[in-house]
Structure formats: C-alpha cells, structure tokens
C-alpha cells in the first residue's frame, strides 16, 4: 500500500467525481436481480429454495427459524448475552426518546388542527448473516420497529450449514416476531411479495450486499424501503490538536468492512496529514483483515487530504455528505455547526464510530453515497405514518368560506366550492 496525503486544492475533476459521486454499484446486476425477484413473486417458496441452494449452497427445509433464535438466546454464553442485552437496552432508550406525541391545537376560533402517529402494520428487516455474525445489524433494524409499535416484524437472514448463534440470539433479544432463513435478492423478494412461508411486509429495511441493495431498488414501488445503501463510509475532519494514531484507527475500522469502503481524513494541518499516512501504514499490517483494509485505502474514494483552511475542509465535508462523520478538533462543536449533511456524527477523540455501530444507542443503518444530503438514518419515524386531523365549527368554516370557494372556482373545481356553499346555506 502506497499512500500519501493530497491537497484539496489540487484535486482534479476525476478525483472529485470519485469522492462526491459514489454509488452502490448495482446497475451491472439489475437484470439478474430482476429475474430472481420475478421468480420469487410468481413461485414463492419453490423459487426461494432453488435460489438458496444455488447461491448459498444450502438446502433449506423449513424456512422459518424463529424457535431456533430463541434456543440460541437461551444457550448463549453469559458475556455475549450481557453485551447483546446492553446494546438492546441502549438502542431502545435512544429510540424511545424519538417517539412523537399526537397533538391537536386551536389555530383560530373554530379551527382545530392536529397530527397523530401510528405504526406501520408489517415490517421486514434484512439482517446480514450466514456464517458471519452481525448481531448489531439485527438490533439496529428490529429495535426501532418494536419501539414504534409495529405489529409484526419479520426478519430474513442468509442461511448456512451452521447459522451463527450470536446473530440468532440478537434477533430474539431485539424482539422479532418471525425469522426466516433466506438471504440475498430472494430474501428481499420474499419480504416484498410474501410466499407460502414468509409474511409480506409493507416496508423493508436493513443493510446488505449489492444484490440485496439491487433487489430493494427493484421492489421499491411495490413496497416501501428505507434507502439504497452502498459500501461503508467515514470522513474524519481534524485539526492540529488531533491524534493521528486515533484518526488512522478510525479509517481502518471502516476500511475493514469492504474493499469498496470510502474512508477519508481531511485536516487543515499538513504535518497532521503526514502523520496520519504514517500511522495508516504502521497499523494496517497489525489488523486481521489487512487485505480488505489495503484495498479500501487504495480505492479512488479514499484518502488523506490537506485543506488550506478549516473552512475548506468543512466545505469538502458538506459536499461529501458522509455516512459517518468524525470531528476531532479543538472546537468540534463549531465545526459541526457548519456541517448539515451527515448520517451520524461522532464528536471528540473519545467517540469512535464503533460506539455507534454497536452500543451507544444511535442507529448504524445510515445513508451512504451522499444520501445524507436529503435523508437521515433508520429511526422510530421510519416505522411510523402520520395523519393530519382537523375540525371546523360553523363559524370556523364561515371565516374560511370565501377563501376556499374563490380558490376552488379559480381551479375550475366547482364541486369543491359547492361543498362549502351547502354547509353555509349559500345556495
């Protein structure tokens, strides 16, 4: 791995495109995914089992494994169980604080308006798995839905000859109602359209590989989704007070997710930039996933950048709109105040992104590819629908009557105007 710091002012159009035009990389597989989705929609469990055997090399009998999750929870070692329960409790506490209250107020005599919130009935959560362990993704997807009051939370997770017991236990602890051993595009299709075994969802959430993401893009419109997420991202904004060793460890932590991860540090201090590069070189060889880390650090969307000023660094951060934003600076609050677009923010040297990934309480299912410019991460609101409510008295309608009838007539909607005249006895 050969890396050196680069200057923001010297980035060319291609360099900037690599940083600012990231995508989920799904277009090349959309046609293959469409075939999978169509087959599952038409053939149900038969297609699910066929694709599971083809892609996962596992023959699945009973797709539902809800009871197996309960048994994994009961058999889990005490230290793992305690960690899961602590994470669940913290995520619950943070998301309970997000619950909105119904309200209704008088905006004028005789005009009462309000808003109420109700949970979606059926939600599907994708939990990456198979032989790997992703208990944190189970917690982040399921807990907000449960807190929101969703009536039925279904989970799909990839099959394996031996499913990871930690992931299964976390699914149980988080409160899923039904769990199915099916992953990939076929898992998303099963949730979107339902099968003989899998309950159809009204909304699908959760991270996955590009096949999962492409399937979410394919079914969007027939079912609601959270967003289309690509590989993991982190942007660290630092000044000369930051410890380069900590910054390097933050970049490496996200780089170990995926060779296509985008990991960036930007600083207004040239010496700090040089030391970050040195620390990356030293630390990478110490990590178990060294090959993946090196690939991520070497891709065009990663790098250590030196800005001419903190203002230039902040402008870069705002344009980048990262999934994870770490701010390690003398006045981190002042830096944050000037950045609006970020999925989740981590302030100060004692706040690693890993805290939010696992147990601080915030959600780690976050927008990537610049999605933070227009949306936030998974939250209680993801699983709620809102309804406006209004009540007019006769005098309240009298006050609004001329306004309503004038505008309705201007739009050529005479029936709208008539519906008011009838109530006001003006016919």
Place of tokens 């609050």: 333
Q: How far apart are CA 62 and CA 54, in angstroms?
A: 17
- Could you tell me how many residues make up the chain? 427
Query: Residue 181: which residues within 8 A CB-CB, separation 6 or more?
Result: 52, 60, 63, 64, 65, 156, 157, 158, 159, 163
Please name the helix (run of DSSP H) or strand (run of DSSP E) that holds residue 108, with its range, or none. Answer: strand 103-108
378 CB burial (10 A radius; 0-12, 13-18, 19+): buried
φ, ψ (nearest 5 deg) of residue 151: -70, -40
- Return the C-alpha torsion angle 177, 183, 185, 189, nearest 10: -30
Which residue among 95, 172, 324, 364 is the active-site one? 324
Confirm whether 324 is a catalytic residue. Answer: yes
CA angle 292, 140, 21 (to 5 degrees): 50
CA angle 116, 118, 122 (to 5 degrees): 165
Confirm whether 92 is a catalytic residue. Answer: no
Query: Residue 58: which residues within 8 A CB-CB, separation 6 or more?
Result: 52, 159, 160, 161
Which residue among 5, 218, 250, 323 is the active-site one? 323
Dihedral class, residue 200 (left if φ above 0, else alpha if ψ from -120 to 50, else beta):
beta
Nearest to 48 by CA among 62, 66, 69, 65: 62
Q: How far apart are CA 383 and CA 306, in angstroms?
A: 41
Burial per residue of 144-159, b for 16 or more beta-carbon CB atoms within 10 angstroms, e otherwise: bbbbbebebbbbbbbb
Cite the active site residues.
323-324
């Amino acid at each position: 791995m050969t890396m050196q710091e680069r200057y923001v002012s010297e980035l060319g159009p291609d360099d900037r495109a690599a940083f600012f035009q990231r995508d989920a990389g799904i277009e090349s597989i959309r046609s293959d995914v469409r075939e999978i989705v169509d087959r599952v929609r038409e053939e149900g469990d038969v297609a699910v089992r066929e694709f599971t055997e083809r892609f996962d090399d596992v023959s699945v009998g009973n797709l539902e494994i809800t009871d197996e999750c309960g048994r994994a929870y009961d058999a889990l070692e005490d230290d793992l169980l305690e960690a899961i329960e602590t994470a669940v409790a913290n995520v619950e506490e943070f998301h309970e604080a997000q619950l909105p209250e119904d309200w209704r107020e008088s905006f004028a005599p005789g005009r009462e308006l309000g808003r109420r919130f109700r949970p979606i009935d059926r939600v599907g959560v994708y939990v990456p798995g198979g032989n790997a362990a992703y208990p944190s993704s189970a917690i982040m997807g399921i807990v907000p839905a449960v807190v929101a009051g969703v009536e039925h939370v279904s989970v799909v997770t990839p099959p394996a000859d031996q499913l990871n017991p930690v992931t299964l236990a976390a699914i149980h602890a988080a409160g899923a109602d039904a769990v199915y051993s099916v992953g990939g595009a076929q898992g998303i299709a099963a949730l979107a359209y339902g099968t003989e075994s899998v309950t159809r969802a009204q909304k699908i959430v959760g991270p996955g590989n590009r096949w999962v993401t492409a399937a979410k893009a394919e079914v969007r419109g027939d079912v609601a989704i959270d967003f289309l997420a690509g590989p993991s991202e982190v942007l660290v904004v630092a000044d000369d007070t930051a410890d380069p060793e900590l910054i390097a460890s933050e970049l490496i932590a996200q780089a170990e997710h995926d060779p296509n991860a985008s990991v960036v540090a930007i600083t207004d201090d040239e010496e700090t930039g040089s030391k970050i590069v040195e620390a990356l070189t030293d630390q990478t060889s110490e990590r178990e996933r060294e090959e993946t880390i090196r690939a991520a650090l070497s891709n065009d969307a990663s790098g250590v950048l030196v800005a001419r000023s903190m203002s230039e660094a902040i402008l870069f951060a705002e344009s980048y709109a990262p999934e994870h934003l770490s701010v390690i600076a003398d006045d981190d609050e002042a830096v944050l105040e000037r950045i609006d677009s970020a999925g989740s923010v981590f302030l100060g040297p004692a706040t690693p992104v890993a805290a939010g990934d696992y147990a601080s309480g915030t959600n780690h299912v976050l927008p990537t590819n610049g999605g933070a410019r227009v949306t936030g991460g998974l939250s209680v609101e993801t699983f709620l629908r809102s309804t406006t409510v209004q009540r007019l008295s006769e005098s309240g309608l009298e006050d609004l009557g001329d306004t309503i009838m004038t505008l309705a007539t201007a739009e050529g909607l005479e029936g709208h105007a008539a519906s008011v005249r009838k109530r006001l006895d003006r016919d």
